[in-house]
Amino acid sequence: MGQTLHQHLKVFATTDPDRAVLVEVVTALAAAAVEISELISGGMLAGITGEGETLNSDGDIQKDLDVQADRIIRGALAGISIAAILSEEANEIEIRDQTSAVSIAFDPLDGSSNINTNMSVGTIFSIVRTPSHARAAFTQPGTAQLAAGFVVYGPQTSLVLTLGYGVDIFILDRKDKIFKLVKSQVRVAPSTAEFAVNASNHRHWEAPIQAYVDDCIAGIEGVLAKDFNMRWIGSLVAEAYRILMRGGIFLYPADARDGYSEGRLRLVYEAHPMAFIMEQAGGAASTGRSRILDLAATKPHQRVPLIMGAIECVQRLERMHMSPDIKSERNAPLFATRGLFRI
């Protein structure tokens, strides 16, 4: 506790010189996060309106802060040898130094529709091993990640980081402008009584998602036999942080609305890093049909359904997706109140 991010990274790097570039990238991202955090805390006083008229690569409205956060991160990474860079805010992958062992994908400002409501937003990043062709860096499965993390700009600015050896959480000490370790080797509880989903989409979901959420809502009287609490912040980083701190399950499934057949979240710089973090913390992440870390994108801004958090709940949802007859699955003795897999 109290160890600085710099000290933490130094220990990591001394055991293997190949890790030096990873440390450089994480250090640069942390410096960018300090700058973004200061900008956000100024809000309208710093000229941040949360408005914008341009569309990003994926057709989302680009807010003023999205653009500024992207610029800050690119600036911080400028002097570092990186093979390929992918940002949510850019159409194309940028190829830099093809000899570099690492490439990075990032969402400079996730949850940006929350900016002018003074709610938590964040930066998400995924650092991957560069394959023989740098252009293919982001069409690898999520298992090619070397490190991943996210920053939450909330009441505290916190950095969640995995270097592939568990998950650690740092908080920005505003006085010194440095991140300090507050939680080491975070674990996600295997089971939970708290779920997060945008329930207004219920009628558009596939049957297994509807059934699972209905079971949560049925509480003590339903097949899950316990009362659930629901949270929906509408900011992926804030939901993920809550799950790391007190457990839970998050769902952003595919649905029948136009443009949502693969869900909403992006595979490379949202689902992959979150999945890496969840698994490193003992949780799980899945589409309901496949493990997120096994998936490889076919295009840079590909979307994917995401279910993540408590491992037993994610596995239950997977079984519900696999079962052709959800009704019998839900009523089967294994899942009933006194069943083996009651979770």
Q: How far is the CB of 257 from ligand FDP (least distance, A)?
A: 9
Stretch of residues binding ligand FDP (CB under 6 A), selected from 207-215, 229-237, 292-300, 316-324? 229-237
111 is in an annotated binding site: yes
Q: Give the whole-angstrom CA distance, residue 51 versus residue 64.
A: 6
Q: How far is the CB of 113 from ligand FDP (least distance, A)?
A: 3
Q: How far is the CB of 179 from ligand FDP (least distance, A)?
A: 22
Q: How far is the CB of 112 from ligand FDP (least distance, A)?
A: 5
Helix runs in 84-171, H state only: none
88 is in an annotated binding site: yes
Map residue 170 onto helix, strand or coil.
Answer: strand
Beta bridge partners of 168: 161
107 is in an annotated binding site: yes
Question: Is residue 339 within the footprint of ligand FDP (CB under 6 A)?
Answer: no
Q: Give the whole-angstrom CA distance, residue 201 versus residue 35.
A: 36
Question: Is residue 234 within the footprint of ligand FDP (CB under 6 A)?
Answer: yes
Beta carbons of 192 and 247 less than 8 angstroms apart: yes
Question: Is residue 112 within the footprint of ligand FDP (CB under 6 A)?
Answer: yes
C-alpha distances (whole Å) from 172 to each of 33, 36, 159, 185 are 9, 12, 8, 18
Q: How many residues bind ligand FDP (CB under 6 A)?
A: 12
Q: How far is the CB of 143 from ligand FDP (least distance, A)?
A: 22
Task: Out of 56, 158, 235, 286, name the contact with ligand FDP by CB under 6 A.
Answer: 235
41 is in an annotated binding site: no
146 phi/psi in degrees, rounded to 5: -100, -30
Residue 67, C-beta contacts closer than 8 angstroms, at least 6 positions apart: 52, 54, 89
Which of the residues 160 through 199 are near ligand FDP (CB under 6 A)? Answer: 198
Stretch of residues binding ligand FDP (CB under 6 A), selected from 12-20, 106-114, 137-145, 327-335? 106-114
Task: Out of 72, 137, 148, 236, name the contact with ligand FDP by CB under 6 A.
Answer: 236
Q: Which residue has the tokens 């979240």?
A: 265
Q: How far is the CB of 77 from ligand FDP (least distance, A)?
A: 21
Of the candidates 198, 46, 197, 201, the residue with the CA atom closest to the CA atom of residue 115: 46
Q: Is 190 exposed, middle or buried (0-12, 13-18, 19+ CB in 10 A)?
A: middle
Nearer to ligand FDP by Cβ, of 170 and 269: the residue is 269
Continuous segment of H or E residues that includes residue 181 = strand 178-183
Continuous segment of H or E residues that includes residue 275 = helix 272-280
**Residue-wise burial string across 108-133, b where 16 or more C-beta atoms lie within 10 A, e elsewhere:** bbbbbebbeeeebbbbbbbbbebbee
Which of the residues 5 through 64 are near ligand FDP (CB under 6 A)? Answer: none
Which of the residues 241 through 300 are near ligand FDP (CB under 6 A)? Answer: 264-265, 270
Q: How far is the CB of 69 from ligand FDP (least distance, A)?
A: 11
Question: Is residue 318 within the footprint of ligand FDP (CB under 6 A)?
Answer: no
113 is in an annotated binding site: yes
Nearer to ligand FDP by Cβ, of 236 and 267: the residue is 236
Written as six digits, the tokens of 240 are: 């993920």
Question: Is residue 113 within the footprint of ligand FDP (CB under 6 A)?
Answer: yes
Alpha carbon 124 to its chain's center: 6
Alpha carbon 1 to its chain's center: 24
Nearer to ligand FDP by Cβ, of 103 and 123: the residue is 123
Beta carbons of 231 and 194 less than 8 angstroms apart: yes
94 is in an annotated binding site: no
Q: Residue numbers of the site for ligand FDP (CB under 6 A)?
A: 110-114, 198, 234-236, 264-265, 270
Binding site for substrate, residues?
110-113, 198
Binding site for Mg(2+), residues?
88, 107, 109-110, 270
Binding site, residues?
88, 107, 109-113, 198, 270
